[in-house]
Amino acid sequence: MSAPAVFIAGPASWNSIVVLDRLPEPTPHMQFAEASWKTLGGTSAGKALSLTSLATPVTLYALVGADDAGDRVRAALTAAGVDALWGPGEETERHLNLMTRAGERVSLYLSTPSAGDGAIPDEVRVAMADADVVVLDLAEEPRRLLPLAAGSGRPIWIDVHDYDGAAEYHRPFLAAADAVFCNADKLADPVDFLRSRVAAGASFAVCTLGADGAVAVDADGTLHRVPAVPVDVVDTNGAGDGFFAGVLAARLGGASLAQALRAGAHSASVSLGSRHLHPLLDAVL
């Protein structure tokens, strides 16, 4: 019997990270960076890396351009052992992330690929059909895949990140979701939001709370909490994706939601210990 497989569609990017003593104020001024580096980014790439490290078979589908950034993205993920399908993009997604040591972040999107305008590639259809779970991250190409994923009968896991509870763009993703993940950055009442997603049909919903761990609501309405794993934080990028991947790998292995949340917290702590999305990249970049 083969191991459960995951199909992930969404962003893989090439990022510039700049660490500042404080986030810039909206006035003309000068600041000195405490550190800076270039690295792989993208929420789907982060999830794929963590799943790969957890020995969970995963196929990543991402759009990249025929440019230097695209070459770097492909090379990094290949060297880290991630199985990927590459769709053509006009240019590769690139971010400039302004960070503080406390984990505050402003992400400037320098470029983003558009959704494909042709038929969905056969290899993508096959990978989705063969998967035990389909993960569709917030981007135009995954949005295009939503009807196909919904028709596949496979559970669909969605990460809406810093959703505010009202943004229109997220709604088709949420409507299709069997499992919902988010963070508490813009939610006035995270638990109320989680309960609303379970009431709408999700099997469970999870909200990460940074240093306060995470909270979840299951199908029975039971509330679960898990503390964060203490760790010397090097960089916060990728921690949420690591948490998501830890929960997913554990659930595929038969874990209860409470057990899976603990696995997610541990997986997030691994990502927090690297200045890249995951330590798998430490020897690559």
Locate 262 and state its tokens: 């603990």
Residue 78 lies in a domain: yes
- What's the rounded mean pLDDT across residues 258-262? 98
Range of the domain at 205: 6-22+33-281
Query: Domain containing 154 — which CATH number?
Result: 3.40.1190.20
Angstrom distance (rounded) from CA 115 to CA 142: 8
The model carries a pTM of: 0.96
Residue 238 lies in a domain: yes
Identify which has the larger pLDDT, 152 or 50.
50
Q: What is the pLDDT of residue 254?
A: 97
Residue 41 lies in a domain: yes
Locate 73 and state its tokens: 């993205």
Q: Count structural domains, the chain.
A: 1
Residue 185: HSE in the Cβ half-sphere, 13 Å Cα cutoff = 12
Provide the 8-state DSSP code for 91.
S
Residue 184 lies in a domain: yes
Residue 28 lies in a domain: no
Mean pLDDT, rounded, of the chain:
95
Angstrom distance (rounded) from CA 89 to CA 66: 8
Locate 176 and state its tokens: 């299709």
Write the CA distances from 284 to 53, 78, 106, 134, 279, integer angstroms: 14, 10, 26, 27, 9
Residue 1 lies in a domain: no
